[in-house]
């Protein structure tokens, strides 16, 4: 369901289709900031709906919101703080993966820093769950490592 591109060249929009079949519109200048999208436009043309198999309708609107502000040069620390304020750690992770897939550098940098900040003083178990990794140390290895790093286990936050 490709939409007609608007007639004025300065406000050209691109249609994006998410992995779950929904269509969203973004400005061509915002699309430029997402290198993956731009590459697809270069290959397929800008009149066709660009398919994004790995991005879904839950996160794409948020990403579009970010880049709408970016092209008008309005991204401030306050905006960024508001942007992530109500997102839980998993929602940020999903956005982060999407930004990585879309090769959207500015958003990627911002979200990596945000995740790093969220992990501050969190426990080992929390980080395990967050990154989705299995504990592949033997009990002996783990206790040895913990002992060597005893100094880093003070002041940990309670898991939420």
Partner 1 sequence: MENLPSPLVIEILSRLKDSTDLARCRVVSNTLNEASYEVRSLTLVCSMSRYLKSRSPETKHLITPFKTVLKNLVLRSPNLESVSLGVDRSLGGISFDDVEDESDDLHLTDFNFIQDWLPSLSKSIKSLSVSDFWVQSCWRQSQALSLISSTCHCLVQLVVRNAWLVVDGLCLMPTLTHLTLEFVRLDDEDLNMLNTCFPNLTQLNLIGVGGLKEPKINLPHLRTCQWSVSNAPLSLNILAPSLVDFHLKCIKPRLLFLEAPSLSNFNLSLENTDELVLKNCGNIQCLQLEVECFSPGYILSMFQRCVAVERLSLDFVRKTPRVVDVGADQVREFGLDMLLNYFPNIRYLSLGSEAWRVIESSFCRGSLKNGIETKTLKELVAYIVVLEIEFTLAFIFSVLDKCTQLGGVSLLIHSDVDPRVAGNLISACRTKFPGVRWRWGIWKEGIKDTWVSDGI
Interface residues with partner 1 (CB under 8 A)? 90, 93-94, 96-97, 100, 108, 112-113, 115-117, 119-124, 127-128, 131-137, 142, 145-146, 148-153, 156
Nearest CA among 93, 84, 85 for reference residue 130: 93
Given the complex with partner 1, which of 1 and 116 has the nearer CB atom? 116
CB 14 within 8 A of CB 41: yes
Given the complex with partner 1, which of 81 and 145 has the nearer CB atom? 145
Given the complex with partner 1, which of 1 and 133 has the nearer CB atom? 133
Rounded least distance, CB 150 to partner 1, Å: 7
Gap between the Cα atoms of 58 and 78, Å rounded: 23
Rounded least distance, CB 121 to partner 1, Å: 7
Buried b (16+ CB within 10 A) or exposed e, 50-81: bebeebeeebbebbbebbeebbeeebeeeebe
3 DSSP assignment: P
Given the complex with partner 1, which of 6 and 105 has the nearer CB atom? 105
Gap between the Cα atoms of 142 and 139, Å rounded: 5
Rounded least distance, CB 125 to partner 1, Å: 9
Rounded least distance, CB 112 to partner 1, Å: 5
Given the complex with partner 1, which of 3 and 135 has the nearer CB atom? 135
Rounded least distance, CB 4 to partner 1, Å: 36
45 DSSP assignment: -
Where are the extended beta strands (E) located within the chain? 13-18, 23-27, 50-52
């Amino acid at each position: 369901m490709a939409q007609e591109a608007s007639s004025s060249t300065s406000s050209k929009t691109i249609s994006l289709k998410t992995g779950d079949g929904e269509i969203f519109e973004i400005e061509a200048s915002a699309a430029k900031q997402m290198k993956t999208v731009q590459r697809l436009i270069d290959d397929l043309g800008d009149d066709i709906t660009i398919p994004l198999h790995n991005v879904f309708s839950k996160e794409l609107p948020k990403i579009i919101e970010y880049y709408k502000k970016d092209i008008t040069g309005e991204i401030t620390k306050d905006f960024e703080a508001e942007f992530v304020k109500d997102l839980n750690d998993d929602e940020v992770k999903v956005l982060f993966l999407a930004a990585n897939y879309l090769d959207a550098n500015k958003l990627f940098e911002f979200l990596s820093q945000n995740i790093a900040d969220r992990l501050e003083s969190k426990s080992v178990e929390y980080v395990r769950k967050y990154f989705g990794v299995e504990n592949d140390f033997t009990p002996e290895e783990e206790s040895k490592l913990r002992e060597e790093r005893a100094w880093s286990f003070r002041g940990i936050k309670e898991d939420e």
